[in-house]
Structure 1
């Protein structure tokens, strides 16, 4: 497939671009500073500003799918508008864990230990997901990570969840960026969660 990865110079975006290219997909890596995009066979780096939907649409034309690893200062309306203009029907989004549910239906963001300084950016992710849930034209998937996503080894395994936070036997919820990328590209290829949110953790 021909895949555009937005935010391909970031931690999640760079891993996703590498994973997709390693599986034989043609990856268009888009970032404001393309020098940070991984150099690997199958990845074409290009400069782009996702806050400009018209310019972004020009870059996205001809792609089979878009994977967004952007921060949520780029709104769902802006991104969906660019996809519609470009004629791209599939969007996968690197989401946040804050809206996942823990015991009793309480969201992660509403738990007492959730850091106050993280709430504003986390609410951006929640608003983005809420906007996607009203979208019927673009085939979207919102991938919430584990509570902790970290630089670590590529184990090649993970467990899938829906709206509930996935934890291990010790009660921890975590996944490496490398394995997060595996789960994202698996979803790209297997298309198990159309127009819904899922999560993955060890």
Structure 2
């Protein structure tokens, strides 16, 4: 498949690029700053902001677009305008854990102990998900990680959930960037959550 990754130079974006290449897909890596890595037959780099008027044409013909951009760094209007202008229907979003439920009707982000440093990003992510839930012209998917989202190992052993935060037997809620990337690429190859949010964790 031909997959475009927005925010390809970030912690999650680099793992998504690596996982897609590992599986033999053609990847277009989009980031604000040009990557020093040379283009290959399988990997193309584009240095551009999502509001660059030339970007939609460069994304045309892709099978899927993944957005791995912080919600406080790009508006939902700009991202959705870009995807729609590209003509690509399959749109996947690297989400956050804040919008996951920890109890019926109670979101993680609303907890008293939610870290203040992540509040703006978490609330912006919830708002983005709310916008997506009102959209029917794109085949979108929003993938939320667990509460702790860090560099780790590619284990291929994880659980999939829906709208509730996944917590392991030891009380820890976490997932590695590497295993998250597996879950995202699995969803592209075998869609199971069209116009839905799902989550991944141990």
What's the TM-score, normalizing by structure 2? 0.94
Q: Give 3-state SS (helix, strand or coil) of 1:142's partner.
A: strand
Aligned-pair CA distance for 1:192: 0.5
Equivalence map 1:58-97=2 (5 Å): 58-72=57-71, 73-97=73-97
Equivalence map 1:31-180=2 (5 Å): 31-35=31-35, 42-52=42-52, 54-72=53-71, 73-180=73-180
Instruction: Pick closer, same or farther for the CA change 1:92–1:19 going to 2, 3 Å.
Output: same
- Which is worse superposed, 34-43 or 152-161? 34-43
**Counterpart position of 2:3:** 3
Alignment: residue pair count: 201
Instruction: Pick closer, same or farther for the CA change 1:145–1:119 going to 2, 3 Å.
Output: same
Instruction: Pick closer, same or farther for the CA change 1:76–1:157 going to 2, 3 Å.
Output: same
Backbone CA RMSD of aligned residues: 1.6
Aligned-pair CA distance for 1:51: 3.2
Distance 1:67 1:99 in 2: 19
Contact 2:51–2:82 (CA<8 Å) still a contact in 1? no
Segments of 4+ moved more than 4 angstroms: 36-41
Instruction: Pick closer, same or farther for the CA change 1:127–1:37 going to 2, 3 Å.
Output: farther
What's the TM-score, normalizing by structure 1? 0.94
Structure 1 unaligned residues grouped into runs of 5+ = none
Structure 2 unaligned residues grouped into runs of 5+ = none
Distance 1:112 1:83 in 2: 36
**Counterpart position of 1:13:** 13
Distance 1:9 1:105 in 2: 35
Instruction: Pick closer, same or farther for the CA change 1:36–1:198 going to 2, 3 Å.
Output: farther
Aligned-pair CA distance for 1:40: 7.6
Aligned-pair CA distance for 1:120: 1.1
Kindly provide the CA deviation profile for residues 88-116 of structure 1, in whole angstroms up to 9, marking residues without a partner as x.
10100000100100023310011121012
